């Protein structure tokens, strides 16, 4: 049995094509069933996100299956096949395994290390399992892909550092304050950027939110969203000492917060540190504020710089992740190979021969006064028992080669007789971790 | 070679290994390196405890009389206090400062004569071990404060300049480091104060006078005032962060000078020569 993948991603197709070939996430039953009706396809799975579509199948005839899947993808979406053929990639065997492992580990993602893709593949697998289009091979394959992705996330720092401006702000705040749950934040200027960053701060535990804006009504509206308090713009400086984090994004042409004012504020705070984030262009806060002890001022460029540095860190980690993927491919490929009938029969016979030999040695050790003739008869009897026992299983295995039940029998025999273990640890599919964000 | 000297050498080697791992841990991305370091250090500490115990049983007095003994004791207190801090704050990076310091103390100690000193009758007082123990524990706590101070300055500089090295991700937050500074101060200052008072009481019983203005006493008093100023500043004026970090570093430099410099450059009642007749 082979694994094949036909698909397209943000790397091979522009969004106009991707959106044409996407599958609606709410109606996966029909395409999955149709896919399984293609003659060479034994098991099927469809992953469809805004950045990629992947058709994954287990098949006996990889070439035919790949051609059928390419045609299916075009016909299902009523697109001429030649129009999209240059955007499609097809993988089989080891390459297909590598591809899915890399995709689920987020090594193929637009933002390296983003965690959503794993959840999307889990959902896709959920449908395939629900409509029973995934069988032994894809079950094992997908579980393996999940465990590879998990290994990559825990053993490398690929997903560790923030790669968006608002998350970078939260991360920096953690390096200053350690805990955010007893901290307060003030939003100056109710812009969209500030709102997004404020939301991140609130989900990360910030409890006190003050909002100020030139039009008081907007401040009130935003404050209500965060259970915060609105403050008239004229008085915001007086309230600065109450908060630890300040975010500004007003359209003011000049600085609205200068060094002198901040000096006063810090004094009133007894020098407890303050983190100031100035997202406005032109800037709202005098850059000299950064020279004050215990004040940390970041403007948009600074935050972008942090994001760039973090991306670089992720790229360094990607190398490690690729190594992990390579290790796991070998293991899984071995398991897949073990599902072949012939090596299984050979392994089974060898195993029983080993048992026969051990038992004979034991018996002869106890019965020392046997004649050579008697020994030979006992050996022959043991051999005959093995042959009789093996006759039916061997016949069934050989017969099953011709239909789709083959792998199930092979897997069963390998488990029952404890033949060299197939790779991959079956684990329950877990829902997406709560820690996944961004 | 007596048992305790052998144990001392094994301890020293373990600290050496731990130091190597800590220094690799500063640049390495692997947590396993840092974990190995903390285990090596913990193992070294257990050995060190038995070293001191063996010495104690052999000589019958608290092993703090000779230069060798007191250096070993200082290093022991340093590692012990660090391990306690590790349990509380889980900051492995702190060890990258403390472990090399302990190692250096041990190496200097290993160069000093190791025989048990012929006991000077002056030292035969209950106050002597109390004085020395309190003083060294105080020194060790202040060493932690100084290490936290260095880490604070490094982390602060990265946050201010917006240029981050890999160290940035491994150093604790400014808040954590500053609260360490405060914790150290609240433990270290009483220890140091009691160390000085017990020393004065001992001096009275040994020489018949509480305070003799010998160089060590003077320098200890200067350090004490420095820490007193820092504690006062923290509690009343809101000193913290950078200033507190710098104070902690200077304070510890004074303590080190009090301990080493005074013995090397100046002479007085605290010189080990006077204790041991060497």
Domain shared by A243 and A275, yes or no: yes
B211: which DSSP letter?
Answer: -
- Indicate which residues of A carry an active-site annotation: 50
Domain shared by A289 and A174, yes or no: yes
Domain shared by A143 and A93, yes or no: yes
Mean pLDDT of A361-369: 87
Sort out which chain A residues have CB atoms less than 8 A from B243's CB and list them. 293
Q: Is A327 inside any structural domain?
A: no
| B176–A178 C-beta distance less than 8 A | yes
pLDDT bracket for residue A72 (50, 70, 90): very high
Domain boundary among A131, A155, A179: A155
| A293–B175 C-beta distance less than 8 A | no
Domain shared by A116 and A66, yes or no: yes
Kindly state the tokens that stand for A358: 């051990």
Mean pLDDT of A253-269: 89
Mean pLDDT of B144-161: 91
Domain boundary among A307, A330, A365: A307
Nearest to A144 by CA among A329, A374, A302: A329
Domain shared by A143 and A183, yes or no: no
Cα torsion angle, A144, A150, A151, A153, sign = positive
The partner residue sitting opposite B173, judged by closest CB among A175, A293, A302, is A175
Of all helices (H) and strands (E), which one includes residue B66?
none
Kindly state the tokens that stand for A385: 């028992």
Domain shared by A72 and A205, yes or no: no
Domain shared by A14 and A144, yes or no: yes
Domain shared by A14 and A120, yes or no: yes
Q: Is A385 inside any structural domain?
A: yes
C-alpha dist (Å) from residue A266 to A50, A296, B91: 47, 12, 28
Q: What residues does B165 pair with on adjacent strands?
A: none
Domain shared by A37 and A59, yes or no: yes
Kindly state the tokens that stand for A57: 């199948």
Percent of chain B clearing pLDDT 90 (strictly above)? 17
pLDDT bracket for residue B142 (50, 70, 90): very high
* Residue-level pLDDT at A147: 92
Nearest to B104 by CA among B143, B132, B135: B143
Query: Is residue A429's pLDDT more than 60?
Result: no
Domain shared by A170 and A297, yes or no: yes
Between B263 and A246, residue with greater pLDDT: A246
d(CA A19, CA A13): 10
A154 touches chain B (CB under 8 A): no
Whether the CB-CB separation of B56 and B76 falls below 8 Å is answered with no
Kindly state the tokens that stand for B190: 């009483």
A204 touches chain B (CB under 8 A): no
**Mean pLDDT (chain A, rounded):** 85
Give the distance, in angstroms, between the CA of residue B83 and the centroid of all CA atoms in the same chain: 13
> In this predicted model, what pLDDT tens digit does every residue of A202-220 receive, in sequence order?
888 888 888 998 888 888 8
The partner residue sitting opposite B162, judged by closest CB among A157, A270, A305, is A305
> In this predicted model, what pLDDT tens digit does every residue of B18-59 receive, in sequence order?
898 888 888 777 778 888 888 999 998 998 888 888 887 777
The partner residue sitting opposite B159, judged by closest CB among A175, A270, A271, is A175
pLDDT bracket for residue B122 (50, 70, 90): low
Sort out which chain B residues have CB atoms less than 8 A from A294's CB and list them. 240-242
Sort out which chain B residues have CB atoms less than 8 A from A293's CB and list them. 241-243
- Whichever domain contains A50, its CATH number is 3.30.460.30
A332: number of CA atoms within 13 Å, CB side? Answer: 32
Sort out which chain B residues have CB atoms less than 8 A from A271's CB and list them. 238-241
C-alpha dist (Å) from residue A318 to A118, A141, A307, B109: 16, 22, 16, 47
B64: which DSSP letter?
Answer: -
Kindly state the tokens that stand for A255: 């600085």
| B162–A271 C-beta distance less than 8 A | no
> In this predicted model, what pLDDT tens digit does every residue of A389-427 receive, in sequence order?
888 888 888 877 666 666 778 888 888 888 765 433 443
Mutation site for A-interface testing, chosen from B29, B88, B162, B183 by largest number of A Cβ within 10 Å:
B162
Sort out which chain A residues have CB atoms less than 8 A from B239's CB and list them. 271
**Where along chain B do its domains lie?**
1-114, 123-278
Between B33 and A121, residue with greater pLDDT: A121
| A177–B168 C-beta distance less than 8 A | no
Percent of chain B clearing pLDDT 70 (strictly above)? 88
* A36-40, A128-132, B61-65: least confidently modelled range: B61-65
Whether the CB-CB separation of A43 and A25 falls below 8 Å is answered with no
Q: Is A148 inside any structural domain?
A: yes
Domain shared by A197 and A276, yes or no: yes
- CB neighbourhood size of B6 (10 A): 12
* Residue-level pLDDT at A19: 87
Q: Is A325 inside any structural domain?
A: no
Distance from CA of B152 to the nearest CA of A (A): 10
| A306–B174 C-beta distance less than 8 A | no
Cα torsion angle, A171, A176, A177, A178, sign = positive
C-alpha dist (Å) from residue B236 to A205, A254, A334, B81: 30, 37, 70, 27
Domain shared by A86 and A169, yes or no: no
- Whichever domain contains A270, its CATH number is 3.40.50.720
d(CA B76, CA B105): 10
d(CA A88, CA B137): 70
Which residues fall within 8 angstroms of residue B196, CB to CB, at 6 or more apart? B135, B220, B221, B224
> In this predicted model, what pLDDT tens digit does every residue of A334-343 receive, in sequence order?
778 777 777 7
Mean pLDDT of B213-217: 79
Q: Is A436 inside any structural domain?
A: no
Whether the CB-CB separation of B200 and B123 falls below 8 Å is answered with no
| B159–A305 C-beta distance less than 8 A | no
| B174–A271 C-beta distance less than 8 A | no
Q: Is A120 inside any structural domain?
A: yes
How many domains are contained in chain A? 3
Residues in chain B: 278
A430: which DSSP letter?
Answer: P
Mean pLDDT of A248-264: 88
Nearest to B78 by CA among B135, B36, B137: B137
Whether the CB-CB separation of A128 and A45 falls below 8 Å is answered with yes
Distance from CA of B159 to the nearest CA of A (A): 7
The partner residue sitting opposite B164, judged by closest CB among A272, A293, A309, is A309
d(CA B268, CA A147): 68
A vs B: CB pairs below 8 A: 49
Distance from CA of A83 to the nearest CA of B (A): 47
Determine the structural domain holding residue A405 and report its residue range. 339-416
d(CA B92, CA A178): 16
Q: Cis link prior to A282 (omega < 30° from 0)?
A: yes
Which residues fall within 8 angstroms of residue A400, CB to CB, at 6 or more apart? A341, A406, A408, A409, A410
A254: number of CA atoms within 13 Å, CB side? Answer: 2
* Residue-level pLDDT at A121: 93
* A111-120, A317-326, A399-408, B216-225: least confidently modelled range: A399-408
ipTM of predicted complex: 0.81
Kindly state the tokens that stand for A217: 């009504």
d(CA A310, CA A316): 10
Q: Is A135 helix (H, G, I), strand (E, B) or coil?
A: coil
């Amino acid at each position: 049995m082979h694994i094949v993948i036909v698909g397209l991603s943000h790397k091979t197709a522009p969004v106009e094509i991707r959106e044409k070939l996407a599958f609606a996430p709410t109606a996966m039953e029909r395409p999955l069933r149709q896919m399984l009706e293609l003659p060479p396809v034994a098991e099927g799975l469809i992953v469809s996100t805004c950045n990629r579509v992947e058709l994954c199948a287990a098949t006996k005839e990889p070439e035919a299956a790949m051609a059928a899947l390419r045609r299916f993808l075009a016909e299902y979406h009523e697109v001429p096949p030649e129009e999209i053929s240059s955007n499609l990639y097809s993988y089989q065997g080891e390459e297909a395994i590598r591809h899915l492992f890399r995709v689920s580990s987020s090594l193929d993602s637009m933002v390296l290390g983003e965690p959503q893709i794993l959840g999307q593949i889990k959902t896709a697998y959920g449908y395939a399992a629900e409509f029973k289009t995934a069988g032994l091979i894809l079950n094992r394959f997908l579980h393996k892909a999940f465990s590879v992705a998990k290994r990559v996330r825990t053993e490398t720092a690929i997903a560790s550092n923030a790669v968006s401006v608002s998350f970078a702000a939260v991360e920096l705040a953690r390096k200053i304050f350690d805990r955010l749950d007893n901290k307060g934040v003030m939003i100056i200027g109710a812009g969209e950027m500030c709102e997004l960053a404020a939301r991140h701060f609130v989900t990360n535990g910030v409890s006190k939110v003050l909002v100020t804006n030139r039009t008081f009504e907007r401040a009130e509206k935003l404050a209500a969203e965060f259970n915060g308090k609105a403050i008239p713009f004229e008085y915001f400086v007086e309230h600065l000492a109450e908060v630890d984090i300040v975010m500004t994004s007003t359209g003011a042409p000049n600085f609205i917060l200068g060094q002198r004012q901040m000096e006063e504020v810090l004094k009133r705070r007894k020098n407890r540190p303050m983190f100031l984030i100035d997202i406005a262009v032109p800037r709202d806060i005098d850059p000299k504020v950064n020279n004050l002890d215990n004040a940390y001022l970041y403007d948009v460029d600074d935050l972008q710089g942090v994001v760039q540095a973090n991306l670089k860190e992720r790229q360094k980690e990607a190398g490690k992740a690729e190594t992990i993927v390579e290790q796991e491919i070998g293991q899984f490929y071995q398991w897949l190979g073990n599902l072949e009938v012939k090596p299984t029969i050979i392994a089974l016979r060898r195993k029983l021969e080993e048992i026969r030999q051990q038992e004979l040695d034991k018996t002869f050790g106890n019965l020392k006064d046997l004649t050579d003739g008697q020994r030979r008869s006992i050996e022959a009897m043991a051999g005959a028992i093995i042959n009789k026992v093996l006759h039916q299983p061997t016949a069934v295995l050989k017969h099953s080669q011709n239909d789709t039940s083959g792998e199930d029998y092979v897997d069963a025999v390998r488990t029952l007789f404890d033949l060299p273990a197939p790779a991959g640890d079956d684990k329950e599919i877990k829902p997406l971790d709560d820690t996944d964000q961004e | 070679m007596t048992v305790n000297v052998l144990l001392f050498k094994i301890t020293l080697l373990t600290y050496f290994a731990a130091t190597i791992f800590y220094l690799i841990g500063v640049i390495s991305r692997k947590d396993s390196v840092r974990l190995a370091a903390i285990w090596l250090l913990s193992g070294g500490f257990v050995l060190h405890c038995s070293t001191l115990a063996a010495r104690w049983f052999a000589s019958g007095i608290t092993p703090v009389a000779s230069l060798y003994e007191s250096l070993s004791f200082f290093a022991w207190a340093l590692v012990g206090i660090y391990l306690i801090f590790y349990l509380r704050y889980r900051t492995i990076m702190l060890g990258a400062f403390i472990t090399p310091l302990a190692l250096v103390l041990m190496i200097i100690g290993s160069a000093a004569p190791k025989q048990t000193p012929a006991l000077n009758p002056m030292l035969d007082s209950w106050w002597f071990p109390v004085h020395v123990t309190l003083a060294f524990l105080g020194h060790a706590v202040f060493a932690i404060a100084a290490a936290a101070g260095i880490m604070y300055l490094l982390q602060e500089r990265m946050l201010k300049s917006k240029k981050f090295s890999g160290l940035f991700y491994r150093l604790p937050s400014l808040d954590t480091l500053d609260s360490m500074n405060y914790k150290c101060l609240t433990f270290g200052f009483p220890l140091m104060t009691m160390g000085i008072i017990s020393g004065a009481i001992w001096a009275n019983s040994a020489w018949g006078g509480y305070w003799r203005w010998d160089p060590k006493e003077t320098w200890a008093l200067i350090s004490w005032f420095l820490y007193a100023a820092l504690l006062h500043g923290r509690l009343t004026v809101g000193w913290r962060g950078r200033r507190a970090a710098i104070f902690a570093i200077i304070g510890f430099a004074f303590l080190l000078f009090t301990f080493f410099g005074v013995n090397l450059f100046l002479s007085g009642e605290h010189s080990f020569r006077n204790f041991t007749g060497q």
